[in-house]
Each structure stands twice: as C-alpha cells, then as structure tokens.
C-alpha cells in the first residue's frame, strides 16, 4: 500500500535561502532522477528555520530500494552530504510516515 514520508527539517541560522536553492536545484532533481516521487516542498512562513518536504512510496520494498539508490550513490556522499551537513540541524529532523485517508486528494 502506498504511503507518504513527511520530512521536517530545521535549517541552521541564516541558511534557509541557500538550503531551498540546494534542494530545488540539486537534491530534488537528483532524487527524482533515481526514481523518488517528490510530492512537494515547503517553507514555514512563521518559522524561518523550518523546511518540510514530502515523498511518496508505493511500498516499503520500493522505499528501501530508492533509499539505497539515493543514499549509497557516490555522488550523494561526495557532493550532497557535505553541503547538507553544513546547513541542516540533523538532530532535529522529524520524519513521519503517513497513509492517505479515504477522501484525501493525495494518494
């Protein structure tokens, strides 16, 4: 059964603009090219350090395969991870798995 992964991040002070640029120009296209379905990404109007994005998976097996395709790629560890670590407050990451309710527009 398909599910969503809502990822909530806290960005280090003063780095949100750079973070959004990295996500939209590099990270999201990289993940999409490897098969990830990115539903959307958002910035919080009231909390300047809060960034959210959502991915969709058809199954747990697909999620595992896509995680491997993305996070074990040498380009990820060489290029993306250092840039992400510079801007992301990793201990504050919150990942929530969501199932669509019967009348949800997103499925």
Q: Is residue 104 part of a domain?
A: no
Alpha-carbon distance 24 to 30, whole Å? 10
Percent of the chain with pLDDT over 90: 97
User: 42 is in which domain, residue-wise?
Assistant: 3-98
Separation of first and last alpha carbons in the chain: 10
Establish if 107 belongs to a structural domain.
Answer: no
HSE, side-chain direction, 13 A CA sphere, residue 7? 16
CATH code for the domain in which residue 83 is found: 3.30.70.100
In a domain, 91, yes or no: yes
Number of domains in the chain: 1
Higher pLDDT, 96 or 106: 96
Position 18 scores a pLDDT of: 97
What are the backbone angles phi and psi of residue 27, rounded to the nearest 5°?
-65, -55
Task: State the average pLDDT over residues 2-20.
Answer: 97
Q: What is the pLDDT of residue 91?
A: 96
Per-residue confidence band for 21, with pLDDT thresholds at 50, 70 and 90: very high
Does the pLDDT of residue 75 top 90, yes or no?
A: yes
- b/e string for 75-98 if b means 16 or more Cβ within 10 A? ebeeebeeebeebbeeeeeeeeee
């Amino acid at each position: 059964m398909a599910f969503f992964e809502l990822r909530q991040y806290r960005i280090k002070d003063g780095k949100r603009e750079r973070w959004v640029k990295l996500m939209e120009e590099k990270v999201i296209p990289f993940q999409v090219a490897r098969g990830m379905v990115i539903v959307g990404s958002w910035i919080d109007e009231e909390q300047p350090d809060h960034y959210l994005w959502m991915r969709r998976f058809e199954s747990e097996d697909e999620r595992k395969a896509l995680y491997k395709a993305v996070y074990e790629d040498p380009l990820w560890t060489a290029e993306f991870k250092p840039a992400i670590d510079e801007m992301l407050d990793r201990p504050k990451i919150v990942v929530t798995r969501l199932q669509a309710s019967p009348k949800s527009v997103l499925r």
